[in-house]
Amino acid sequence: MIESETEISEDLVRDLLREQHPDLAELPIREVEGGWGNQMWRLGDKLAVRMQRMDKLPDLQLKERRWLPVLASRLPLPIPTPVRNGAPSERFPKIWTVVTWVDGTPLDHGSITRGDHAADMLAAFLKALHVEAPADAPDASDRGGHPKECTDGFEHFLRAVDLGHFAEDDIRAVWDDAVAAPEWEGPRVWVHGDLHPANVVVADGTLAGVVDFGDVFAGDPAWDLAAAWVLLPTEGASRFFNSYAQADEATIRRAHGLAAMKSLFLILMGQNGDRGLPGGKPHWGPAGRSALDRVLKGL
């Protein structure tokens, strides 16, 4: 378990339910592996409890509560939709939320074997998500900017990881092209913002759901389109963009560079896991290297 100010246990989750949602308190409860900012507990067969853990502020869960019910009805894949709110209390001084459970295996513990189907599903999901957002939709925070605004992060990841057989010049060429690409000139569209292998689930060899919308914002869709390389098998990006069919050349260039940065991040998290550092995830390393290989092969 990742350390937090308050140890979260099955007994605590059940006690909180008894206090605030007693009709749910006797359902089976079991911890879900993973998570950083929030810890998930399965609640019966159809629900989960999302407990604020490392996140210092409630903003991300509050954002999910506000906007996910708006988005869920038009998306072709299930997402965790808030159904009950948990308030801070003496027992647990942070917020928590009961959400619908999304069936499937996180991709960082599974695989995509039906690549064409997964590419089409991802394209359909993002086409449905990437519609103009209302004026009061949240802006991006630490994600969402043009690649030229993210150079410090890219350089940090590039310096920190063991590149192995990858050539630094090849990676820089992809990034530099993204930095040189024109900015997004379209309307502010809904963007998930954090599509990586732990935030999608798979079943029967293809995409089955999308989770963790804590970074959802309105802005440049390139941040999501990077998933064409980060999530899909080799050559999946080409089919994805043909199916998505609404990305111009500049957006694809930005997405390509962002995919390089996200791949380096996954490699770094895997490296940290191999070294036993807090928050590190050893199994993310191979996923990041596979993604970077796809990035360098282009479309």
pLDDT tens digit sequence for 185-210:
999 999 999 999 999 999 999 999 99
Predicted confidence band at 43 (pLDDT cuts at 50, 70, 90)?
very high
pLDDT at 37 over 70: no
- Give tens-digit pLDDT for 222-246: 999 999 999 999 999 999 999 999 9
Q: What is the pLDDT of residue 39?
A: 87
Higher pLDDT, 232 or 55: 232
Residues 154-158: what's their mean pLDDT? Answer: 97
Residues 18-41: what's their mean pLDDT? Answer: 89
Residues 66-86: what's their mean pLDDT? Answer: 96
DSSP string, 86-98: E---SS--S-EEE
pLDDT at 1 over 50: no
Element (H, E) at 116: helix 115-129
State the average pLDDT for the chain: 94
Asked if the 10-100 domain carries CATH number 3.30.200.20, the reply is yes
pLDDT at 256 over 90: yes
Question: CA 63, CA 44: separation in Å to the nearest integer?
Answer: 25
Q: What is the pLDDT of residue 12?
A: 95
Helices 168-180, 151-160: axis angle to 10 degrees equals 170
Could you tell me if 226 and 251 are in contact, meaning their C-beta atoms sit under 8 angstroms apart?
Answer: no
Which CATH homologous superfamily contains domain 105-297?
Aminoglycoside phosphotransferase (APH), C-terminal lobe (3.90.1200.10)
pLDDT at 45 over 90: yes
pLDDT at 174 over 60: yes
Express as a percent the part of the chain with pLDDT over 70: 96
pLDDT at 75 over 90: yes
Residues 73-87: what's their mean pLDDT? Answer: 97
Predicted confidence band at 38 (pLDDT cuts at 50, 70, 90)?
confident
Residues 90-104: what's their mean pLDDT? Answer: 95
Residues 6 or more apart in contact with residue 151 via CB below 8 angstroms: 175, 179
Q: What is the pLDDT of residue 53?
A: 73
Q: Which string of b and e fits 73-111 if b means at least 16 CB within 10 Å?
A: eebebbbbbbebebeeeeebebbbbbbbbbebebbbebe
Question: CA 299, CA 297: separation in Å to the nearest integer?
Answer: 7
pTM reported for the whole predicted model:
0.93
For 21, phi then psi, to 5°, come to -140, 70
Q: What is the pLDDT of residue 2?
A: 39
**Where in the chain are the domains?**
10-100, 105-297
Residues 90-95: what's their mean pLDDT? Answer: 91
| Torsional class of 35: left (φ above 0), alpha (ψ -120 to 50), beta (otherwise) | left
